Structure 1
Amino acid sequence: MKIKGKLLLTLFLITWVVFAITLLINHGHSYIGKSYFKSDSFLSTKETFIEQLGHYVLEPFNAEKAKENITVTQTEIEEHRNYYGTLADQVENIRAQYSDRIDQAKLDNDKELETLLVKERDAKIADINENFSNDDHVEEKIRKQKELLIEKYAAQQERNRKDFLNEFSYFSYNFTNIETGKVFESGEQITSGLFKETYGNQQSYLTVDSTTYIEPYDLVEGDDFNLYESFRYDGEVSQFEGVISIPKSMLSATNFKDDYQTFKFSKMVFYIIWATGILAAVLLFTVAKPSFQEFTTSNKLKESFLKLPIDVRILTVIIMLLSSFLLLDILGNMISNVYYFGIYNVFPYVFELLTYFVLMMIMISGTIFGAVWTFETLQLWDSYNSEHVKKEIKGAMLYRLADGMQDLFLNRKIGTQSVAILMVAFLAGIGLVGAFMSNELAIIYTILLFFIGLPASIIFLRRMGYLNRIMRQTQEMADGRLTADIRVKGKGPLANHATNLNQLREGVKKSMTEQAKSERLKTELITNVSHDLRTPLTSIITYTDLLKNPNITEEERKHYIEVLDKKSARLKTLIEDLFEVSKMASGNIELTKQRVDLTQLLQQAIGEHEEAFRNANLELRITMPDEPLYAYVDGQKWWRVIDNIVLNAMKYSLDGSRVYVTLNRKGNEAEFIVKNIANYELGENVEELTERFKRADASRHTDGSGLGLAIAQSIVDLHGGRLKIDVDGDLFKVIVSVQLDY
């Protein structure tokens, strides 16, 4: 992206104005109209000096007065008395301390040592008894301990006073106690210098309170003290008038000389920056006045930027803006210390300043261009641009993330586990940083790593491995290899997915088997239909040709006509059955249901075929209930079911055998059963007998159409019933069940 000279000048001026304004906001209150001696750093130094001056010089600790003011309370007496336990405890303890030593002296026959030890023991026991019987005795002990503490505290204060006078030797002071008139002065007294501050003389007096608390803990280390409660020394509260000052000659002796020079130099630099910032603002709105078009010119960088999702663009602008603020803060702090650092390393320091400024200019320029380009793309001023805005929002990273999170939580368990693993990984990263920073955190991190981090990692890796196995076997399924089941491990979502895939695999295998079966049956259907239609049609054509012969006899003509009539009726029946089963298969049939007595319907159907069974040399055995069985069915269609099944038994039963027809109640259903011995060997695929043009007589020598059971199956299905075929050797059984209507 090439930037023209005027646009580059505009960006520089914008950066400089922002730079100057930021420095004014952040540092103006510390420099404008102020000297170093109004800065927080010096004020802290001055307050420390005043506090210690009062404590060590103006109203120092008075040990003798503190001793005179010692008080001992009854509470202190009781605490001292019982410090080592009760009277009995203390006496027993003393005896125990001396017992071994006295016994050893006796063994050594050292009478002198034995006498001294017994005398020392008895003195201590007498002192303990005195402690518990005489308050004055205890009070005197406490008083002596407090006097010793006061002496130690006074010695410490003297050491601190010398350190103070040495550290703040560059300060001069002159104070007068307004009550006693006592004068305290030190150093060169001046009327002007680096710094001067007056107390009194129409200003507030310097008030010093010498009251203090003596802390035994700070003074008795290594000593035999049993007094550990702090006690108060009530000192004087005095007021002073006077002045403190720092002569110019003492600047080199101060501990703030570098800070002082840095402040003066930095103040000058800030004033220059603020003045040039005003000049840059004037130039920005006159010579280099920017136009909106200058920032919207198309270029490769703009095209690349606009390819980013809208939220990534906005985030990029925000990051560049925050980076600009960070760089502005760094530059402000560097300029605040420009003298302190730059005086020793001028060129590296200037180079670092320029580097940060160039980076800041790049960040501010990027912020401006990114904001303008994003705003221009959204065209918020165009009310007809809503579709474009919607498209931008749908392409946003957060939108896609939300969409992905929604998909992630379609299975709540997977979503929860995924978020938990991400949190563990994130916290593990933070914990690793903490472990490098602290030994205590390293121990805690190690424990959490072994008991949470590693188990979570192992679980995650195992799940990923299992997922890879599932994906590989899914690919094999997609490639048509349906040989092996996917192993189901555990009870989690992946295990459920594996179970579902196994069920899908079984469904695919079954579907493929059904498809192969359907293709085979379709081929057989075409073959059988062709055969069954061609057979009577061939006979019709043949006998029609024979009738054309004028030399045939009348008896022959009559015979040919009978054959033609029979074959035509056969062909008509085939075509009608074929149309009917097609209508039923397509659902294009109407049922006229009514309450029908199935017992009476079976009697009528059987009555029409009893003579035909006798002629076929078959014995018909019928079993029916005495009571009527009512069902809500289409009577005509249900009669067709009974008729087809009974005729099927008559056509395919073994000569001289029995046919059993049964109707009974089974629960809330009526059950119609027909059993017979087949005159042909039955195959294994019993279910296929209900397919169209499918017959047990594979040679098709019988006179059936092959549609009887298929029609019966379709009618039963339309009534919500069930038709089942059982074969046991040559025993053929058809069972039809339908719901009763009470």
Structure 2
Amino acid sequence: MKRNTSIPYLIWASLVVIVLMALQSFVENGNYRYVGKSYVESDDFQQEMENFYTNFSTAILNPVDLEAAKKNIIVTSSEIEEHRTYYGTLSEQVDNIEEQYAERIADAEAAKKENLKKTLVEERDAKITDIRKNFESDAHVEAKIRADKERQLEQEWKDHIRSAKEQLYFPVAYELTDIQSGETFKTGDISVAAGYKKTFNKKEGYLRATPYPINDFDYDSYPSESVYEWGDSVFSNQEVTVATTPNHSLFMALESGQPQAVKRFEGTVIVPKSAMKEGQLGRNVDQYNRRLLGIYTLGGLGLLALLALASIMRFKKEWVTKSSFASRYDRLKLDLKVALLILSAMIVWGFTFTILHRYTWFFFQYSIENGLFLLLSFVALVFLLWATVFQLVLLVERLKNVETLEQEIRDSYSVKFLKALQGMFLNRKMGAQTFILLIGFFLAGIGFVGMFLDPFFVVIYTFCVLFLGLPALYIFVKRAAYLNRILVATEAMANGRLNEDIKVVGKSPLAEHAKNLNNLREGVRVSMTEQAKSERLKTELITNVSHDLRTPLTSIITYTDLLKNEELSSEERSKYVDILDKKSQRLKTLIEDLFEVSKMASGNLELHKQRVDLTQLLQQALAEHEEEISKSGLDFRVNSSDSPLIAYVDGQRWWRVLDNLIVNSIKYTLQGTRVYITLRKVGDTAEFVVKNITKYELGDNTDELFERFKRADTSRHTDGSGLGLAIAQSIVDMHNGNMKIEVDGDLFKVTVVVAAI
């Protein structure tokens, strides 16, 4: 029985997840934030107390002397000029005031309200007088600016003190004494049980209270050199100019070069223990303790899980290799396996932090929903880790088999993509154009996003779209339309419609493809025509062979039956025997010619070439048929030189060419006409020509006369196999010669050319 390996594997994965969570928890919290610390020792609480000491020093222990600060306010000449001309020149401001009051004074006068009129006139004159003083006296303007700055400075300082006192959300008791003046500041009871206690003295250090928090304001102008602390005082080595721009903060400065005292205090500051159990501080303490409990719990579980992994739950490779999923996983491509492994590992690492935070939140707020979500997250992480280790083990096993690994690399999507990319550039022009288009669309996407990030990119993006993107899009659409037309035409070709050419547009790779398809279409059309012709000739060949073989064979059978008659006379019997002999010879010749043509077509016929005098060979062939020529009533006109015409040929086979052409002319030349035979040397070749007037109408298709069993006598009344020209053509081809037939009406001309010596 096959053992189920999934359960121990899942248990192992669960233990590993616990160890990972515990490890991450320790890295994130154990070394500095929580482990071994109480809440009052935590960074959060310590930061709260640091803020308290800073604000407490400024607001209570060592507040700034506002009157001294007001005296240090400086008004510059540029500020005076800005204030003076803020609403325009003197004449512009006076005209503006008079326009503002003119209508109101006129209305009061019309309504006979003398008191109102008098008041408005006084207000107008006072404002005009004030404007005139602004342009007459710098001191007048300076006083107004200084008063405004003093009011703003006082209001900002009050706001700062109020904010400083409101920042602390839990009660603090303290009793602190200025070691120089002896002044004591006290609030609350420092003798109660303390959750937090801090003592300041000479041994442990005094509480140092600066006059104001240097970094608490957002200043508009700064001294050329920053304020620094030296010993017990804070110095500023240069005056600070107070900003006068509206809506900008003011800050105070002590008199140039004068030390601003830093006070030192001794005493005690506590946070009552009772405050640690109520309010926001109590909630913070409770959440901190819960988080600490969660960390300790997870650390303990992680340690137990680690011990289990090292002892009873050691990982076994068979859990993976013998799994039913292993064979399915092996079917995936290698690069897909690597990508899935990296992705799952990243998800496991990131999801571990997520579930760790969910685990911590569960200790903050106990609920069924949080517990259920934590459980589901844990189960999901276990399966993710299970899948990651599963892939890692199988991948390592695969790497051990070098041959299989090489084959998987060859079959991977990445290698196939590279091959496809290489194939894209088989036509470099087409590949380059496609690559440029892809890059263009990619950059267009980046530019579209960048347009929303920075308005400046709108101009660049618009320019690129108008002058690069739209032309490229037009070219792409045009090429796509042309490609579709080519595909439609190709489909028509595949369906047998070969009459229309594909329109060739331009000089692009698609145009070259269209041209090639047109050539292919023409080739297919010619091939189909030739095939149809071949089928027709094959049918005729079978018909003609059957006819030519059946005719003598029928005669032989018939006369054989007649010879069986015992009552035949000796003369009749001798006549029938002669007929049988003639038909037998006829059948023998036909079969021999058929075998010879078959040998020539298959290339099995061997030539025995030697030096042959073609002039003498022609004379022998004519002498062989001298009796037949004289009986035919034809006038043979032979034109050849008396000198030898030597060619390197197979004499027996070449005699067969001459013989077949002479016999052909005897059979198919119109009676009473002439037959012209010419043999001459033309350059390095020997040319043999036969011309005659045909007895039968040949038509225009002279190429079919070379076909086997094709005869000018379509009714097949003449003797002959119909193989004469076919045999002659084959012999000439075997000698690397050329044989051509020309027909002009009834004029029949055969020209044979072969290399001469």
Scaled to the shorter chain, the TM-score interval is 0.5 to 0.7
The equivalent of 1:161 in structure 2 is 161
Cα distance in 2 for residues equivalent to 1:490 and 1:229: 71
Cα offset, 1:640, TM superposition: 6.8
1:337 to 339, 361, 372: 361
Q: Which of 534, 540, 548 lines up with 1:524 in the alignment?
A: 540
Matched, 1:688 2:704: yes
Q: Structure 2: how far apart are the matches of 1:721 and 1:146? A: 123
**Residue matched to 1:267:** 292
Show the counterpart of 1:23. 25
Alignment correspondent of 1:357: 378
- The residue type paired with residue 710 of structure 1 is A
Question: What's the offset of the Cα at 1:361?
Answer: 3.2
Q: Deviations over 1:342-361 (max 9, x none)?
A: 2xxx3322232233223333
SS in 2 for 1:194: strand
How far does the alpha carbon of each residue in 1:341-390 deviate from its partner, in whole angstroms, 9 at most, with x for none? 32xxx3322232233223333433444455556656x493xxxx555555
Paired residue type of 1:193: G
Distance 1:609 1:199 in 2: 150
Partner of 2:37: 34
| Contact 1:622/1:661 (8 A) holds in 2 | yes
Separation in 1 of the partners of 2:202 and 2:607? 120
Secondary structure of the residue aligned to 1:193 is: strand
- Cα shift at 1:679: 1.7
1:387-434: CA deviation from partner (whole Å, max 9, x where unpaired): 5555666676666776777777777859986997899799999999x9
Q: Say if 1:693 and 1:706, in contact at 8 Å, map to a contact too.
A: yes
Query: For 2:682 and 2:98, how far apart are their aligned partners in 1?
Result: 107
Partner of 1:277: 302
Q: Is the 8 A contact 2:710 2:723 kept in 1?
A: yes
Given that residues 722 and 738 in structure 1 are in contact (C-alpha distance below 8 angstroms), is that contact kept between their aligned partners in structure 2? yes
Question: Structure 1: how far apart are the matches of 2:157 and 2:475?
Answer: 61
Q: What SS class does the counterpart of residue 264 from structure 1 fall into?
A: helix
Deviations 1:59-117 (A, max 9, x none): 6666555554455778x4798499889xxxx7699399669969x99xx9x9x999999
| Structure 1 letter corresponding to 2:155 | A
Q: How does 1:225-236 map to 2 (within 5 A)?
A: 234-235=253-254
Q: TM-score, normalised to structure 2's length?
A: 0.65
8 Å CA contact 2:197, 2:270 repeated in 1? yes
Q: Retained in 2: the 8 A contact 1:52–1:164?
A: yes
The counterpart of 1:677, out of the listed 680, 683, 693, is: 693
Shift in Å at residue 162 of structure 1? 0.5
CA distance in 1, matches of 2:98, 2:582: 141
1:155 to partner: Cα distance: 1.4
CA contact (8 A) 2:190 2:269 kept: no
What is the identity, as a one-letter code, of the residue corresponding to 1:350? Answer: G
191-200 vs 516-525, greater mean Cα deviation: 191-200
TM-score w.r.t. length of structure 1: 0.66
Q: 1:583, 1:589 within 8 Å by CA — same for their partners in 2?
A: yes
Decide whether aligned partners of structure 1 residues 118 and 206 sit closer, same or farther in structure 2, where only a CA change above 3 A counts: closer
CA separation of 1:167/1:296 partners in 2, compared to 1, >3 Å: closer, same or farther?
closer
CA distance in 2, matches of 1:634, 1:424: 71
Aligned-partner SS, 1:292? coil
**Amino acid of the residue matched to residue 354 of structure 2?**
I
Counterpart residue identity of residue 354, structure 1:
L
Farther off after superposition, 244-253 or 76-85: 76-85
Matched-pair contact (CA < 8 Å) for 1:37–1:195: no
Distance 2:736 2:143 in 1: 112
Cα distance in 2 for partners of 1:582, 1:707 equals 11
Q: Which has the higher contact order (CA 8 A, sep 6+)?
A: 2
Q: Quote the offset at 1:529 in angstroms.
A: 4.2
State the AA in 1 paired with 2:161: R
Query: Structure 1 722/523 Cα, relative in aligned 2: closer, same or farther at 3 Å?
Result: same
Q: Identify the range of structure 1 (146-155 vs 51-60) with the bigger mean alpha-carbon deviation.
A: 51-60
How far off is 1:566 after superposition?
A: 8.2
Displacement of 1:147: 5.9
Aligned residue identity for 2:540 = E
**Superposed CA RMSD:** 6.8
Contact 1:669 1:740 in 2 (8 A): yes
Paired residues of 1:578 and 1:707 also in contact (CA < 8 A): yes
CA contact (8 A) 1:176 1:240 kept: no
Secondary structure of 2:319's aligned partner: helix
Q: Once the 2 structures are TM-superposed, how far is the Cα of residue 271 of structure 1 from its aligned partner?
A: 1.0
- 2:196 counterpart (190, 194, 197): 194
In structure 2, what residue type is equivalent to 1:692? R
Corresponding pairs, count: 691
CA gap of 1:61–1:655, structure 2 versus 1, over 3 A, is farther
Could you list the per-position Cα deviations for residues 451-492 of structure 1 after superposition, in whole angstroms to 9, with x for gaps in the alignment? 999999999998998899689768x74xxx668879879899
Q: Secondary structure at the match of 2:374?
A: helix
CA distance in structure 1 between the partners assigned to 2:692 and 2:479 by the alignment: 64
Contact kept, 8 Å, 1:17 with 1:277, in 2: the verdict is yes
Q: Report 1:237-316 matches (<5 A).
A: 239=262, 241-242=264-265, 245-251=270-276, 257-286=282-311, 288-290=312-314, 292=316, 295=319, 298=322, 300=324
Structure 1 range deviating more: 151-160 or 720-729: 720-729
**What is the one-letter code of the residue matched to 1:94?**
E
Q: What amino acid is the match of 1:295?
A: W
Kindly provide the amino acid, as one letter, of the partner of residue 164 in structure 1.
A
Q: CA–CA distance in 1 between the matches of 2:295 and 2:368?
A: 20
Give the AA of the match of 2:704. Answer: E
Counterpart-to-counterpart distance in 1, 2:553 and 2:47: 124
Contact kept in structure 2, 1:7 and 1:294, CA below 8 Å: no
Amino acid at match of 1:157: W
Separation (CA, whole Å) in 2 of partners of 1:146 and 1:740? 129
Question: What CA distance in whole angstroms lies between the structure 2 residues aligned with 1:622 and 1:174?
Answer: 150
The 2-side partners of 1:320 and 1:400 are apart by 24
Structure 1 residue 332: Cα displacement: 1.7
Return closer, same or farther for 1:406/1:683 CA change in 2, 3 Å cut-off: same
> What percentage of residue pairs aligned between the two structures are identical?
32
Corresponding residue number in structure 2 for 1:584: 600
Change (3 A) 1:77 1:183: same
**Secondary structure of residue in 2 paired with 1:246:** strand
SS in 2 for 1:337: helix
**Partner Cα separation in structure 1 for residue 680 and residue 293 of structure 2:** 116
Q: Counterparts of 2:56 and 2:350 in 1: how far apart (Å)?
A: 42
User: 1:99-248, aligned counterparts within 5 Å?
Assistant: 141=141, 145=145, 148-149=148-149, 151-168=151-168, 170-171=171-172, 185=185, 187-188=187-188, 190=190, 192-194=194-196, 196=198, 201=203, 206=208, 208=210, 234-235=253-254, 239=262, 241-242=264-265, 245-248=270-273
1:557-608 C-alpha deviation (Å, 9 max, x unpaired): 9x998x9998888777656654554343233456789999xxx968985897
Residue segments in structure 2 that go unaligned for 5+ positions in a row: 110-117, 222-243
Match of 1:707 in 2: 723
1:94 corresponds to:
92
Q: 1:3 to 1:566 in 2, by over 3 A?
A: closer
Residue 31 of structure 1 aligns to a residue in which SS? coil
CA distance in structure 2 between the partners assigned to 1:617 and 1:734 by the alignment: 18
- C-alpha distance in 1, partners of 2:610/2:731? 15
